[in-house]
Amino acid sequence: MKDYELTVLIHPDLEVDIDAPLAKVREIVTSAGGTITSEDNWGKKKLAYRINKEDFAVYVYMEVALPSEAPLKISNTLNITDEVLRYLLVTVDEKGRKALEEQELSAKNRASDQEDKKDEE
């Protein structure tokens, strides 16, 4: 299983009942043999350009683990799903992820060092 990032733009009219289209996307991923490791709903945002006569979309970001044949199945299914305006399925850059974790760790260390200096004063 390989790690992927899936970002889905859902039709803005479905924002009220977002659970139904999200359940459909989750079912597409799991039926292809994948697992969803994390999910983040970014909410309704303005699009950079119109898609299917829509100016807004609900952005949902997912981290998924998929077997090798699953990305093609998921892409084919999401292409014909009416609730999904667009999607982006990309592999996770492990070097980038490690660099980001190290950057966050160093930022936390700097913040704790600054707090220690304030406590000493």
Structural domain spans, the chain: 2-92
Q: How far apart are CA 107 and CA 62, in angstroms?
A: 25
C-alpha separations of 87 from 98, 106, 110 in Å: 25, 33, 37
Of 45-54, 57-66, 74-83, 98-107, minimum mean pLDDT range: 98-107
Query: Does 1 have pLDDT greater than 80?
Result: yes
* Span 44-64, average pLDDT: 94
Query: Does 114 have pLDDT greater than 90?
Result: no
**For residues 45 and 13, is the Cβ–Cβ distance under 8 A?**
no
Q: How far apart are CA 1 and CA 112, in angstroms?
A: 37
**pLDDT at site 118:** 66
**For residues 23 and 4, is the Cβ–Cβ distance under 8 A?**
no
Give the contacts of 110 (CB within 8 A, at least 6 positions apart): none
Q: How far apart are CA 1 and CA 91, in angstroms?
A: 11
- Give 85's pLDDT tier (boundaries 50, 70, 90): very high
**For residues 102 and 13, is the Cβ–Cβ distance under 8 A?**
no
**pLDDT at site 120:** 64
| CATH number of the 2-92 domain | 3.30.70.60
Model-level pTM?
A: 0.76
**For residues 76 and 70, is the Cβ–Cβ distance under 8 A?**
no
